Amino acid sequence: MLYRQRKLDTPHGELQTPILFPVSNIGNRSSDNTPEYTNSIPDLSTAMVNSRAIRNRKTQWNRLKNGATLRGEMDVAEETIIFADSGGFDFQEEEVDTTPAKTIETQRKLGADIFGTVDIPLSRDNRQAENQRRINQSIEFALEASDAHDGDEILLASVHGYDPETIRNTISHLEKEGEFDGYAIGSLVPIRTDYEKVTKIILSARRATDKHLHTYGLGGVTYQPLLLYLGVDSFDSSAFIRSAGKRNYLMPGFGGEPLKNIDSLAHLPCACPVCSSRSFETIRDDRDLLTKHNLWALAIELRRFRYMQASGEDLEAYLDLRFQGNKVTQRAYRTAKQQVRRLT
């Protein structure tokens, strides 16, 4: 097993890993607002933001340039640790409208603790030549960011590739040519249902470096245990917002369940602060409450894994049970276990 616990020193304090960064949609024009959670879930004093979206929202960006703080705009505690990515996901369909230096300037203005380098995600629909161009461009952007970065913030190079060899070679090249505190693997969301492929990509990254390893977009209740087993140090997720918008109820160990499939029920099964004192109908009819519950579900998934490790339980036996209800994830876990045992 590659699971590990570490401490990451950031400008806003020490961060215990592994950790989830809930995605905050501040800066995006969306009705699906991220509820305040850092005061109610003590071990989630973290957030992921899109630096490009914030910079492009002119009214908000002007407030930030004139003295407002991002944490104040988000209504979170000053010690909240913020990961600001480049907004690279937007570049999957749009032209790149920034530079590494401009992005770092934006991330620093936001008071972010962790910077993700400018990147151009891959797509299953893109041809091999186009994807290779995107991989090379992301590498160049990362190296430019390494040259431009001179602060105390954590700098993670964004890495892309749909095969283990590309990921391994990219990280090896960036290790030689740049200075990074770790790496963030992107382009996994489009292939997230191919668990075995994703597993092999993550393992290749873990094999290539002992530095901090982040995965973009895969922090949901289904993927979390697998990521932890593979030695991923941090991950982000917007699943708690997106699922609530579809009235899906997240449950650790089970995934998501559409509430429309339930005819009559007095109370939901979770004992989190949202569900313990409210009726099924109240939560079903209030998207904000459902969003908060879903975030609690992600936090509980992480807490459960930490507990099993701290209590000295056999984590592989726990994961055998955890994945037995889904043949696809079970097969991916077995593949991961075989490869991990070769590494340890």
**pLDDT tens, residue by residue, 313-324:** 888 888 888 888
Region at 161 (left for phi over 0; alpha for psi -120 to 50; beta for the rest): left
> Does residue 94 register a pLDDT over 80?
no
Q: Is residue 202 domain-shared with residue 262, that is, in the same domain? A: no
Give the CA distances from residue 245 to residues 237, 242, 294, 301, in Å, rounded to whole numbers and listed in that order: 14, 5, 11, 21
Residue 37: predicted pLDDT: 84
Q: Is residue 190 domain-shared with residue 306, that is, in the same domain? A: no
Higher pLDDT, 92 or 100: 100
Residue 339: predicted pLDDT: 80
> Does residue 310 register a pLDDT over 80?
yes
Residue 148: predicted pLDDT: 96
Dump pLDDT digits (tens) for 74-91: 988 899 999 999 988 777
> Does residue 170 register a pLDDT over 90?
yes
Q: Whole-prediction pTM value? A: 0.93
Q: Is residue 93 domain-shared with residue 165, that is, in the same domain? A: yes
Q: Is 337 within a domain?
A: yes
Mean pLDDT of 225-243: 93
Which of 212, 231, 252, 210 shows the shortest CA–CA distance to 83?
Answer: 212
**End of a domain among 245, 261, 281?**
245
Quick one: what percent of the chain has pLDDT higher than 70? 97
Q: Is residue 261 domain-shared with residue 293, that is, in the same domain? A: yes
> Does residue 262 register a pLDDT over 90?
no
Mean pLDDT of 97-112: 95
> Does residue 33 register a pLDDT over 70?
no
Q: Is 213 within a domain?
A: yes
Residue 257: predicted pLDDT: 85
> Does residue 31 register a pLDDT over 70?
no
Q: Is 73 within a domain?
A: yes
Give 344's pLDDT tier (boundaries 50, 70, 90): low
CB neighbour list of residue 47: distance below 8 Å, 6 or more residues apart: 21, 22, 23, 24, 38, 74, 76, 80, 81, 82, 83
Q: Is residue 133 domain-shared with residue 174, that is, in the same domain? A: yes
Q: Is 115 within a domain?
A: yes
Q: Is 1 within a domain?
A: no
> Does residue 337 register a pLDDT over 70?
yes
Least confident segment among 17-31, 63-77, 222-236: 17-31
> Does residue 242 register a pLDDT over 80?
yes
Q: Is residue 256 domain-shared with residue 241, that is, in the same domain? A: no
Q: Is residue 103 domain-shared with residue 144, that is, in the same domain? A: yes
Mean pLDDT of 331-337: 83
Q: Is residue 48 domain-shared with residue 157, that is, in the same domain? A: yes
Higher pLDDT, 173 or 328: 173
Residue 201: predicted pLDDT: 95
Least confident segment among 51-60, 180-189, 256-265: 256-265
Query: Residue 115 is part of a domain; what is its CATH number?
Result: 3.20.20.105
Q: Which domain holds residue 192?
A: 6-245
Q: How many domains does the chain have?
A: 2
Q: Is residue 194 domain-shared with residue 225, that is, in the same domain? A: yes
Residue 293: predicted pLDDT: 95
Report DSSP letters for 233-259, one per residue.
-EEEE-HHHHHHHTTEEEETTTEEEEG
**End of a domain among 224, 245, 266?**
245
Residue corresponding to tokens 């918008």: 245
Residue 158: predicted pLDDT: 98
Mean pLDDT of 222-227: 90
**End of a domain among 245, 266, 282?**
245
CB neighbour list of residue 134: distance below 8 Å, 6 or more residues apart: 120, 121, 122, 126, 160
Q: Is residue 80 domain-shared with residue 43, that is, in the same domain? A: yes
Q: Is 24 within a domain?
A: yes
Q: Is 324 within a domain?
A: yes
Residue 42: predicted pLDDT: 87
Q: Is residue 240 domain-shared with residue 256, that is, in the same domain? A: no
Q: What phi and psi values does residue 235 have, to the nearest 5 degrees?
A: -155, 160
| Highest mean pLDDT pick, 110-114, 289-293, 318-322 | 110-114
Q: Is residue 225 domain-shared with residue 257, that is, in the same domain? A: no
Residue 27: predicted pLDDT: 57
